[in-house]
Amino acid sequence: MILSEVFHDIDPIPQNDGPYPVCAIDYPEAFVRAMDYLRALMKINEHSERALELTAVCLRYNPANYTTWWYRRQCLSVLSSNSLQQTSVNDADNDNSKTVDIDLNQKRGDIRGCVYYDPKRVQDDLKLASQLGGSNPKNYQIWYHRRSILEHAFSS
């Protein structure tokens, strides 16, 4: 993923440690750029496929970053909701349109309320979490993410 091409319409937001950082961390340049774009997407509240992919890039550099996992769950929820809404529109011609609309209202991927995750996205996300946790099976953020995803997947 060439970040400057994918995010040509976004101005990256660099990390601001202030004028006198206590302990500056020497991050790899690729990680710095990815996080700069992630901060920009979070600021404008974009929950898109490219935002989801960017969280995967950032997590490959730092799988213990809680904020990145949190934002990933937000993207998954919104994208799953969009898929559900698309299904509702496609099914509107069927006799089941009332059932679909009720289902949509019950499972809307609203990040402030009920959360819905598309089963295919859950499966893909659990694979990513397993890959990222391979070298450190005690990574709390990965386990929290897994639990959160599965908790919502089984409760919806």
Q: How many CB atoms lie within 10 A of CB 68?
A: 23
**In 3D, which of 4, 51, 49 has the Cα closest to residue 30?**
4
What's the chain's average pLDDT?
81
Q: What is the pLDDT of residue 61?
A: 95
Q: Is the pLDDT of residue 109 over 50?
A: no
Q: Quick check: is 138 catalytic?
A: yes
103, with CB counted inside 10 A (0-12, 13-18, 19+), is middle
Higher pLDDT, 101 or 20: 20
User: Could you tell me which residues come within 8 angstroms of residue 51 by beta carbon, excluding any fewer than 6 positions away?
Assistant: 38, 41, 71, 75
Catalytic residue from among 98, 107, 120, 138: 138
Higher pLDDT, 109 or 124: 124
CB 138 within 8 Å of CB 132: no
Q: Is the pLDDT of residue 138 over 90?
A: no
Task: State the pLDDT confidence band at 112, using cuts at 50, 70 and 90.
Answer: very low
Distance of CA 129 to the CA centre of its chain: 12
pLDDT tens figures, 58-104: 999 999 999 999 999 999 999 988 655 555 444 555 554 443 343 44
Give how far Cα 92 sits from Cα of 8, 13, 78, 97, 102, Å: 36, 42, 21, 5, 12
Q: What is the pLDDT of residue 146?
A: 86
* Least confident window among 11-20, 21-30, 54-63, 130-139: 130-139
